[in-house]
Structure 1
Amino acid sequence: MSLHDDAVLVLKRYENAADPAQDGLRQVYLDHLAQHSDGMWKSCGAGHLTASALVVDPEHGRVLLTLHRKLRMWLQMGGHCEPQDASVAEAALREATEESGIPGLTLIGGAPVRLDRHPIPAPCHWHLDVQYAALAPSGSTERISDESLDLRWFAYDEVASVADASVVRLLECTRAALAESR
Structure 2
Amino acid sequence: MIDLPITEAHLRTTLTTYLDQHPEEKPGLAPVLNLLDSGADLTVRSEFRGHATAGAILAGPDGRILHVHHLALHKWLLPGGHLESTDDALLEAALRELTEETGIPAGAVSTLAHRPVHIDVHSIPANDAKGEPEHQHIDFRFLFRTTADVGQLQAEEVTGAAWRDADTIGDQVLRQRVTQALQPRQA
TM category (shorter chain) comes to 0.7 to 0.9
Long gaps (5+) in structure 2: 127-132
> Residue in 2 aligned with 1:118?
122
Q: Which runs of structure 1 show a deviation greater than 3 angstroms over 4 or more consecutive aligned residues?
A: 15-19, 178-182
Long gaps (5+) in structure 1: none
- Identity across aligned pairs (percent)? 31
CA, structure 1 residues 124+180, in 2 after alignment: closer, same or farther (shift >3 Å)? farther
> Residue in 1 aligned with 2:38?
35
What secondary structure does 1:112 align onto? Answer: coil
Aligned residues: 172
Q: Aligned-pair RMSD on alpha carbons?
A: 2.4
Q: Which has the higher Rg, Structure 1 or Structure 2?
A: 2
CA, structure 1 residues 19+9, in 2 after alignment: closer, same or farther (shift >3 Å)? closer
* 1:108–1:181 CA contact under 8 A, matched in 2: no
* 1:16–1:23 CA contact under 8 A, matched in 2: no
What secondary structure does 1:173 align onto? Answer: helix
The within-5 A match list for 1:68-83 is 68-83=70-85
Structure 2: distance between partners of 1:9 and 1:82: 19
Query: Deviation at 1:10?
Result: 0.6
2:160 maps to a residue whose letter is D
1:126 maps to a residue whose letter is Q
What secondary structure does 2:40 align onto? Answer: coil
CA, structure 1 residues 38+176, in 2 after alignment: closer, same or farther (shift >3 Å)? same
The within-5 A match list for 1:44-123 is 44-57=47-60, 59-103=61-105, 104=107, 105-122=109-126, 123=133
1:37 maps to a residue whose letter is A
1:11 maps to a residue whose letter is L
CA, structure 1 residues 178+19, in 2 after alignment: closer, same or farther (shift >3 Å)? farther
What secondary structure does 1:38 align onto? Answer: coil
Q: Does 1:135 align with 2:145?
A: yes
What secondary structure does 1:54 align onto? Answer: strand
Moved more, 140-149 or 64-73: 140-149
Query: Deviation at 1:172?
Result: 2.2
* 1:54–1:77 CA contact under 8 A, matched in 2: yes
User: In the alignment, which of 147, 158, 166 is matched to residue 148 of structure 1?
Assistant: 158
* 1:118–1:127 CA contact under 8 A, matched in 2: yes
CA, structure 1 residues 18+37, in 2 after alignment: closer, same or farther (shift >3 Å)? closer
What secondary structure does 1:90 align onto? Answer: helix
Query: Deviation at 1:18?
Result: 6.9
Question: TM-score, with normalisation over the residues of structure 2?
Answer: 0.81
Query: Deviation at 1:44?
Result: 0.8
1:172 maps to a residue whose letter is Q
Question: TM-score, with normalisation over the residues of structure 1?
Answer: 0.83
